[in-house]
Amino acid sequence: MSDDEGGFRGKLKVLREMRNYTVIWSGQVASLVGSGMTFFALMVLIFEETGQVTSVSLLFLAAFGPSIILVPIAGVIIDRYSRKWIMAITDAIAAVSTVGILVLYMTDNLEFGYILVLVALGDIFRAFQFPAFSAATTLLVPKKHYGRASGMLSLGWSISQMLAPILAALLLSYIGLGGILVLDIITFFVAIGTLLIVPIPEPKRSKEGTEAQASWWSDLTFGFRYIGDRKRKGLKGLLLVFFLSNFVGMMAWIVMQPMILTKTGNNEVILGTVMMFGGIGGIVGGAVVSIWGGFKRKIRGLIVGLILSNIGFLILGLDGWIPSWIVGVFIMLLLGPLVFSASQAIWQSKVPPDLQGRVFSARFFIALVGEGPAVMLAGPLADNLFEPFMMDATGPLEALFGSGPGAGMGLMIFIIGLIGILVGCVAFFVKVIRNVEDDIPDHDLDSETIDNESSEETPEEGTGEPDEPGGLAEESPDETRRELDVPLGDDEVH
């Protein structure tokens, strides 16, 4: 870490530079907690009623499938219009789906099919949230804080993973599903409020973005063509790594919660407690990355974190009861922020800001598209293959994973952990992935930006000190651009 960020004044400077980002981040975290409580409550109620992992898989598919399909379209809209208003409007519309679930519940008309439709409707509009926030982050914080900002985003998810399950498990007994839905709706308004009070600068046009054709079809395919360029083989390699990791990881994540419910007699408080400790692991990991900034060489942190996080799946699958579940989920989520922040920092450094909506949306689509098939496979594999196979297990299999209900899901999770470790090891030995930071240059905003106002700038304006990014006063895009171009010293954590 550089000297000017090592002392008390340095820390205050970092806080000032990230103030706007932190305000929006806090609102998004509140919304994540509310949505997480609703999803957990629905998942528990559905599994208790059906006893089938396949039913949980369908809920996951409704909650994540539509956004994966629509994210390329979201990227085009994000690059064409205000990222701030896109996040605010889609937050408001997504809240409508939660209102619909609440109305059906209060009128005693809530059925499984209606839940799937309304959850899917909410996810359609959430397709805009993460790409827009990621693209806006580049404009809200200096380049040297990309790792910290990504660490905070991981921290926010971890806070949700810690608080949402245990709060939902406890509140179900007191205020029921209806009360949880009301709290979720309130958190939507909190998120929208933080967006309304914070200015988000518009990105300057890069040369590459200006030369791209303006048609919707061209914009829709632009992100895929950008990633597919032969000069960016390392980025394609990273995407393949995340595609495989997300494919198997989603199956493990879906199976994990029914496994715990099955082995504990549908005890949602135990499940919520395990998930809470997992969230604590994510909070610790996210806090460390937010303060530290991660490895200077981001790809190293990504690969190390990926391999170590899958050790959590190995432990989680073993027949060790509550302690092993807690340790496994803790390790898995502890390393998640390191992997995510490293990946985010690499992409944010390599892609010009005005292209990030389209490119990041294509990136998310490719990395996450495998989760749809994973969701559809996880339930049938658990219900029809692994669970029957382990129902009367003996010998080493029984010693490692137990026997009877839940043992098959444990074996499935363990195998997924082995596959995840293998993916991380392969990534280390593939040269284009290992050298992605060296082979692909960082975007250069000064040389690539078309500034139509520069000729009108007076000498006094051109030599003045720019406002600190993160202040609540409105900042011009030129000021933000200059902040983002501050060169990093050799000792800077970025």
SS3 string, the chain, reads CCHHHCCHHHHHHHHHHCHHHHHHHHHHHHHHHHHHHHHHHHHHHHHHHHCCHHHHHHHHHHHHHHHHHHHHHHHHHHHHCCHHHHHHHHHHHHHHHHHHHHHHHHCCCCCHHHHHHHHHHHHHHHCCHHHHHHHHHHHHCCHHHHHHHHHHHHHHHHHHHHHHHHHHHHHHCCCHHHHHHHHHHHHHHHHHHHHHHCCCCCCCCEHHHHHCCCCHHHHHHHHHHHHHCHHHHHHHHHHHHHHHHHHHHHHHHHHHHHHHHHHCCCCHHHHHHHHHHHHHHHHHHHHHHHHHCCCCCHHHHHHHHHHHHHHHHHHHHCCCHHHHHHHHHHHHHHHHHHHHHHHHHHHHHHCCHHHHHHHHHHHHHHHHCCHHHHHHHHHHHHHHHHHHHCCCCCHHHHHHHCCCCCHHHHHHHHHHHHHHHHHHHHHHHCHHHHCHHHHCCCCCHHHHECCCCHHHCCHHHHHCCCCCCCCCCCCCHHHHHHHHCCCCCCCCCC
Whole-number pLDDT of residue 405: 93
pTM for the full model? 0.69
Confidence check: pLDDT of 307 > 90: yes
pLDDT tens column, 133-147: 877 777 787 777 777
Question: Which amino acid appears at position 36 of this protein?
Answer: G
Confidence check: pLDDT of 471 > 50: no
Mean pLDDT of 222-246: 89
3-state SS, 172-215, equals: HCCCHHHHHHHHHHHHHHHHHHHHHHCCCCCCCCEHHHHHCCCC
Residue 336 to residue 423: CA distance in whole angstroms: 15
Q: Which of 222-231, 268-277, 465-474 has the lowest mean pLDDT?
A: 465-474
Q: How confident is the model at residue 480 (pLDDT cuts 50, 70, 90)?
A: very low
Confidence check: pLDDT of 356 > 90: no
What's the mean per-residue pLDDT of the chain?
80
Mean pLDDT of 426-454: 70
CATH, range 18-218+231-439: 1.20.1250.20
Confidence check: pLDDT of 80 > 80: no
Whole-number pLDDT of residue 8: 58
Confidence check: pLDDT of 361 > 90: no
Q: Which of 123, 140, 112, 114 is nearest to 25 (CA)?
A: 140
Domain residue spans of the chain: 18-218+231-439
Largest CA distance in the chain: 82
Confidence check: pLDDT of 5 > 70: no
Whole-number pLDDT of residue 418: 97
pLDDT tens column, 102-119: 999 999 998 999 999 999
Whole-number pLDDT of residue 4: 47
- pLDDT over 70, % of the chain: 84
Whole-number pLDDT of residue 200: 77
Residue 157 to residue 171: CA distance in whole angstroms: 20
The CB density around residue 116, as the number of other CB atoms within 10 Å, is 18
- pLDDT over 90, % of the chain: 33
Whole-number pLDDT of residue 389: 95
Whole-number pLDDT of residue 268: 86
Q: How confident is the model at residue 212 (pLDDT cuts 50, 70, 90)?
A: low
Highest mean pLDDT among 10-19, 202-211, 377-386, 435-444: 377-386
Whole-number pLDDT of residue 414: 97
Highest mean pLDDT among 2-16, 200-214, 306-320: 306-320
